Every structure is written in C-alpha cells, then in structure tokens.
Structure 1
Amino acid sequence: MKVLAFGASNSSQSINKQLAVYAANLVEGAEVETLDLNDFEMPIYSSDREAELGQPEQAKAFFAKIGQADAIIISFAEHNGSYTAAYKNVFDWTSRIDMKVFQGKPVVFLATSPGPGGASSVLQGAVGSAPYFAAEVKGSLSVPSFYDNFDIETQTMRNDELKAQLQDAVNTLA
C-alpha cells in the first residue's frame, strides 16, 4: 500500500508534517511518500490568474501524487481557525483540475497545535467538507498540546492514549 502523507502547512518545522509522517509509518507494510507543500507553491488562486495561466504544473503534479496513492494522511495546521493559506491555495488550484481532488481515496485527517485546542476547528471543517471532494474519511484525530504529547527527538507519540487512538485511525486504511 502506498500512503501519501503531508502536513497542510508550508512551515519548515511543521509539527503537522511530523505528525502525518509518524502516522503514515504506523501503517503496517506501507510505502510512505511524504510531500512538502513548498514544492507546490503557486500564485494565489483567482479566476483571473486561472484565465491567464491555465492550470499550473504544480497543481497537476499535486493531483497526480494523490492519484498515485492508495491512501492519504493529512495533518492540518490551523491559522485563525481555518486552513493555512499554503494548503488552501494548493487545494483551490487543484480543485480547478477536478473537484474530486481526493479521487475517492481513503483518508485519515489529523490536526495538531501547540495549544490545548489541537487545531480541532480546521479538522472539523476538513472532515465536514471531505465528501464534496471525493475523500473517504476513514478516521480523524486532533492531537492537543503537541509538544507535551509528542517527543520531537525520537519522533514518537509519548501519550499512550493518543498513540492508541492514532493507531486505530490508521488501521482503518489497511
């Protein structure tokens, strides 16, 4: 099984990318491919830019990566209660290629933040809108207080309860 994992952030130190990669590596026997949203940077989407530029190669490449995967794990960073501008822009451009951005793939949606909210607002929005974009949400989990619950040095979950919940979520992809 090929699992595509990424953090919905363009931060070079993204805790969401760390969580997504960790989760993907919990999928037994999976071949994990990690994406960096910085590789898909494009002008901010607008209908005027689309008319001028057409469909950028980065959006086509992102859509192709989703199509090549058997399953997807995304961990959403939350900026002011919503998606990061970096993720939203890639998503908007890609949805212009095909509204079925996730192409019927099974997904696990995660979110984390340094605070106790665990980016749960953006996770709720992502899970709620997923069916409109052909994502089959198999599981979701918000991880609060990332630095208290995840060991940065060993790249492992130190909270056993959250680790079990995360394992249950990724097991749905098998």
Structure 2
Amino acid sequence: MYMKKILAFSGSNSSTSINAKLLRHVVKKITSHEVTSIELSNYDVPIYSADIEKTAGMPSPSVQLKNLIDEHQALIISVNEHNSAPSAFFKNHIDWLSRVDANFLQGKKVLLMSTSPGKRGAKSSLEYVRDVLFPRFGAQIVESFSLPSFGENYDETSNELTNELYALGLTDVVTNFEQNLLN
C-alpha cells in the first residue's frame, strides 16, 4: 500500500470555527495516509486586487501555500459559509492561488466538507465550491459531506458526532476517500 500525503485545512479564519472542529475530527479518522493540517489564517494575504498584483506581484504566502498544495496528492477542506456563500476569507485565498497558477488543484483528489449551526449545514457554500469553483482549477472532488445543526449533532467535549446516521455517513465518506487515494 502506498501512503499518500494529504493537506487539510478549514476555510474559516475564526479561532472558534466549527468547520475547523469538524476537520480535526475527520483528520483523526484518517489511518492509511499522512495528513498535514494547517491554519489558513497563518497565510496572510491582502484582498485580491489586480492593482496589487501588478505593483507588488504575488503575495509570498500565496506562493508558499501553492507550493504546499503541490507537495500533497490530496486535500481535505472544510468550507464555512457566510450568507449562503464561501467566506470572503476563503474565496480571497482561492483568488490569489488561481493567480499564482490557474490549475493549482490539477490532479488533486479532494474531500470537501462543511458544517453550520443551521439545518442546511453550509450546503450552499459546499455545493458552489464542489460543483463550480474547485473543478475550474482542476480538482477531482472524490467525496463531500455536510453536517447540519452542528451544535445538535456534535459533542465538543468528546469531539464526536452524536447523531448515529451522520456518524455512519461520515465514516463511509472517509473510508471511500481513503480507498480512492489508493487507486
């Protein structure tokens, strides 16, 4: 069995991000591959502007992040949602990465997740990233998972999903993702 390198991060810049909590929960379940987790907020970049790009070039954190993505065969990303869309923080990073390399996700297998306090589990953001944004940059979305009503379905003390149906579904998603990486 050939172990793959997976890069994991949340699309949120909140220190109390529930998407980061879901991500940490999933990363613990990965047993067959090497996972590197990062905080996207450690890669500080200005709001994308063609003027900034023209005068200052690419922000070095975007280049560093793109190089880090290159070093991994797969990604696990938990996207947050603000007003039914990916957060401006996350989208800004994607905008800069796409300027560094328009195919920065080419050949990358992705497990995409989302959660929210509400009943839709940030599905609008997840669907946009899964169906529109990431395929445009070459990503292969292998699996996706949305956890609705985070506070009702996740116990922050035990760091476990409390809803058996969602827990089984997430286990299936993670297992399928890991198996797909072996192909």
For 1:173, what is the secondary structure of its paired residue?
helix
Find 1:82's aligned residue among 73, 80, 85. Answer: 85
Using the TM superposition, give the Cα deviation of residue 95 of structure 1 relative to its aligned residue in structure 2, in angstroms: 0.5
Find 1:152's aligned residue among 143, 156, 165. Answer: 156
8 Å CA contact retained: 2:80, 2:122: yes
Find 1:52's aligned residue among 55, 59, 66. Answer: 55
Instruction: Find the counterpart in structure 2 of residue 96 from structure 1.
Output: 99
AA of the residue aligned to 1:138: V
Using the TM superposition, give the Cα deviation of residue 171 of structure 1 relative to its aligned residue in structure 2, in angstroms: 1.9
Q: How many pairs does the alignment contain?
A: 174
Instruction: Find the counterpart in structure 1 of residue 181 from structure 2.
Output: none
Question: RMSD of the TM alignment (CA)?
Answer: 1.2
8 Å CA contact retained: 1:71, 1:173: no
Using the TM superposition, give the Cα deviation of residue 92 of structure 1 relative to its aligned residue in structure 2, in angstroms: 0.6
TM-score by length of 1: 0.94
For 1:79, what is the secondary structure of its paired residue?
coil
Q: Describe the superposition over 1:59-115 as per-residue Cα deviations: whole angstroms up to 9, x where unpaired.
A: 011111211122111111100111111111111111001111223111011110011
Using the TM superposition, give the Cα deviation of residue 23 of structure 1 relative to its aligned residue in structure 2, in angstroms: 1.3
Instruction: Find the counterpart in structure 1 of residue 170 from structure 2.
Output: 166
Identity, % of aligned pairs? Answer: 37
Query: Which sections of structure 1, spanning at least 5 residues, go unmatched?
Result: none
For 2:29, what is the secondary structure of its paired residue?
coil
For 1:163, what is the secondary structure of its paired residue?
helix
TM-score by length of 2: 0.90
Aligned equivalents of 2:147 and 2:18: distance in 1? 11
Runs of 4+ off more than 4 Å: none
